[in-house]
Structure 1
Amino acid sequence: MEKGYMSIRSERKEEHLKLAQMFFNKQKYNSFDQLHLLRPALPETNVDPTILTTEMFNKSVSAPFFINAMTGGSPKSKIVNQALGKVAAKEKIALALGSASILAKEDDQLDSFYVARSKNPDGILIVNVNPETPVKAIHKIIQELNADALQIHLNTVQEIAMPEGDRDFHWLDNIKEICNQVNIPIIIKEVGFGLDQNTIHILKNEGIQYFDIAGSGGTNFAQIENARNKNDVSYLEDIGLPTVISALMAKKEQVNFIVSGGVRNPLDILKGLTLSGQYIGISNVFLQEFNQNGIDGLENLIASWKKQLAALIAIYGKKDLASLPSIPKYYDLPLKTQINQLIR
């Protein structure tokens, strides 16, 4: 490939980064705002940051939240992933890379992903592919990045909104083939529109053990793709399943799940953990902190969030992560009505 030339796929990666920054709104209202936790005025606890340490895919991490999938496959994404790898190593938290499916056709883009592993050789690295990626390519990606887990993302709304997106969503057979031939943990992940209970149920019966619900309330890829589209598809922006509802669906199915989608602060992290999420994924908040304040700014933010999360756990009367789902919670009426209609 000629120096300075970018493929359509790489150009799209760059556009996504630019538009994610353009549409970023840290104060965006979402379902976490309709979930409330009951706090004891006399908690009889003390702040203990060591209780945040936990296990993830057989490795120790310093906190139950991590840097979730964002980017890879272009010059700008290489800079971002190198920084994220360095921050993940410094703060001892997991890092999920953006979709590496581009490597099935453009293996010269490997370095834009590998820079993260090179900066974080011993930490947890999760790779991400679309459900149509050939198994042979997935094996190569896992081997070259020494991945600890694999995310398979489901993004039908984004594909429909994308001018050049897929229009065939017969994905289950390939997901089953990947599951049968990949020997690291597999996570089924939405991309901001929420996993529904029936899909979780179907995939659980196929042997999938981990899910990242990625509900609505954060980055909206229909909005991002609409900005790239000659036709107005803004009507797609509001069809996502709220993060809290998707989490309750996953809990109902009794699966291991990650809560992501609109996590803006340590209180949202705590709320996600009280919903029985094992881990909490954060993407755009961390990306924009890096864009504004560099590596040092992102490291400081993550370190601060750890301290704040430990303090929140203490004031809610708990002394370990396992007990967080027992914190009493209540919902605003609109969300409660949706829960009553949807959770079976």
Structure 2
Amino acid sequence: MSIRSERKEEHLKLAQMFFNKQKYNSFDQLHLLRPALPETKVDTQILGVEMFKKRVSAPFFINAMTGGSQESKVVNKALGHVAAKEKIALALGSASILAKEEDQLDSFYVARNEDPDGVLIININPETPVEATNKIIHELNADALQIHLNTVQEIAMPEGDRNFFWLDHIKALHDQIDLPIIIKEVGFGLDEATIHTLKNAGIEYFDIAGSGGTNFAQIENARNSRDVSYLEDLGLSTVVSALMAKKEDVNFIVSGGVRNPLDVLKGLVLGGQYVGISNVFLQEYNQNGVAGLEQFISAWKNELAALIAIYGQNSLASLPQIKKYYDLPLKNQIDQLL
């Protein structure tokens, strides 16, 4: 097994080890005002939405997690099956490994094979060559491309990169790739200045991936001979990052610490077009298998539709109209940063 594949499998194990579904985060400091007389009904049909020119059954999806090893092949096959069954989008973990290890293609392709017609998003690092990226897109018949920004993770990673001159690479990918491109953080949040710079470079979609969920500094610290735990608190909260994206008036995905359907609703109220969920779905699969994850996602749809009804709304488009307020610590951050 290569060093890259071994790292992929270590990440899966450590993500499970550190998983805490009840972890407190910025969603807990955001509150929505609910009308006691909503004059609505529960209707799961309103959850359907278009995503990269295809119809999906819900505005939330399985976000990037894994690929590039034998264990992740099993996981991606299961996730592809569930995505097809539940008609939701799936983003694969970083496929940059394929630029050097083409024999790992099947660990990604199994997901497309399970879900030949669904929305499939592939993920690469910003230095992946254009030619290799185009080949990956073609082989996986991808609908969109995520480019992840993970400087904190790289610094925490014992074998991580130390060169972060990425903007020109991103511009080259944008100019030469004929797919929607999403710039994605990995749990430390996109800041307003970065969003602004990339917006000016032509990027149209952003996945803010704020802090509050899986912490890759924590995961990499567990693999490190040195203690770099001080990196674990460098993240920008999901709520603040979402407000920055909204201020920049870009299309954005809310992810980072989404634990339940109420967090999904809050992400949509903040202005997110879609909401991405990673480790919660992964650990549900680990505990209860494919059938359990299918039931779990189906229940989330029903619960999200119920929440939309009790908050007095009857469409996804109207959700940002819901009044919201913040606990003082989060309000203080917002006042200082926005």
**How high is the TM-score relative to the length of structure 1?**
0.98
For 1:121, give the aligned amino acid: P
Match of 1:280 among 275, 298, 308: 275
2:176 matched to 1:181? yes
CA-to-partner distance for each residue in 1:39-80, whole Å, 9 max, x for gaps? Answer: 000000000110000000000000000000000000000000
CA-to-partner distance for each residue in 1:182-236, whole Å, 9 max, x for gaps? Answer: 0110000000000000000000000000000000000000000000000000000
Q: Work out the CA distance in 2 between the residues paired with 1:48 and 1:7.
A: 48
Q: Work out the CA distance in 1 between the residues paired with 2:181 and 2:298.
A: 28
For 1:202, give the aligned amino acid: T
How do 1:131-142 and structure 2 match up within 5 A?
131-142=126-137
For 1:185, give the aligned amino acid: P
Q: Work out the CA distance in 1 between the residues paired with 2:332 and 2:31.
A: 15
Q: Work out the CA distance in 1 between the residues paired with 2:309 and 2:284.
A: 27
CA-to-partner distance for each residue in 1:215-271, whole Å, 9 max, x for gaps? Answer: 000000000000000000000000100000000000000000000000000000000
2:324 matched to 1:329? yes
| Partner in structure 2 of residue 220 of structure 1 | 215
CA-to-partner distance for each residue in 1:125-163, whole Å, 9 max, x for gaps? Answer: 000000000000000000000000000000000000000
Q: Displacement, 1:35?
A: 0.1
For 2:55, give the aligned amino acid: S
| Partner in structure 2 of residue 271 of structure 1 | 266
Match of 2:93 among 98, 114, 132: 98
Unaligned runs of 5+ in 2: none
Query: For 1:322, what is the secondary structure of its paired residue?
Result: coil
Query: For 1:164, what is the secondary structure of its paired residue?
Result: coil
Q: Work out the CA distance in 2 between the residues paired with 1:209 and 1:185.
A: 8
Query: For 2:67, what is the secondary structure of its paired residue?
Result: coil
2:72 matched to 1:77? yes
For 1:119, give the aligned amino acid: E
Q: Displacement, 1:84?
A: 0.2
CA-to-partner distance for each residue in 1:81-123, whole Å, 9 max, x for gaps? Answer: 0000000000000000000000000000000000000000000
For 1:118, give the aligned amino acid: N
Q: Work out the CA distance in 2 between the residues paired with 1:54 and 1:148.
A: 15
The number of residue pairs the alignment matches comes to 338
| Partner in structure 2 of residue 292 of structure 1 | 287
Q: Work out the CA distance in 1 between the residues paired with 2:244 and 2:207.
A: 12
Match of 1:65 among 57, 60, 63: 60
2:307 matched to 1:309? no
2:231 matched to 1:236? yes
Q: Work out the CA distance in 1 between the residues paired with 2:319 and 2:56.
A: 18
Q: Work out the CA distance in 2 between the residues paired with 1:179 and 1:45.
A: 43
2:92 matched to 1:107? no
Q: Work out the CA distance in 2 between the residues paired with 1:33 and 1:239.
A: 19
Match of 2:187 among 174, 183, 192: 192
Query: For 2:318, what is the secondary structure of its paired residue?
Result: helix
| Partner in structure 1 of residue 3 of structure 2 | 8
Unaligned runs of 5+ in 1: 1-5
**What CA RMSD, in Å, does the superposition of the two structures yield over aligned residues?**
0.2
Q: Work out the CA distance in 2 between the residues paired with 1:12 and 1:40.
A: 48
| Partner in structure 2 of residue 37 of structure 1 | 32
| Partner in structure 2 of residue 340 of structure 1 | 335
| Partner in structure 1 of residue 158 of structure 2 | 163
Q: Displacement, 1:180?
A: 0.2
Segments of 4+ in structure 1 off by > 3 A?
Answer: none
Q: Work out the CA distance in 2 between the residues paired with 1:19 and 1:185.
A: 31
Match of 2:111 among 102, 107, 116: 116
| Partner in structure 2 of residue 49 of structure 1 | 44
CA-to-partner distance for each residue in 1:8-58, whole Å, 9 max, x for gaps? Answer: 000000000000000000000000000000000000000011000000000
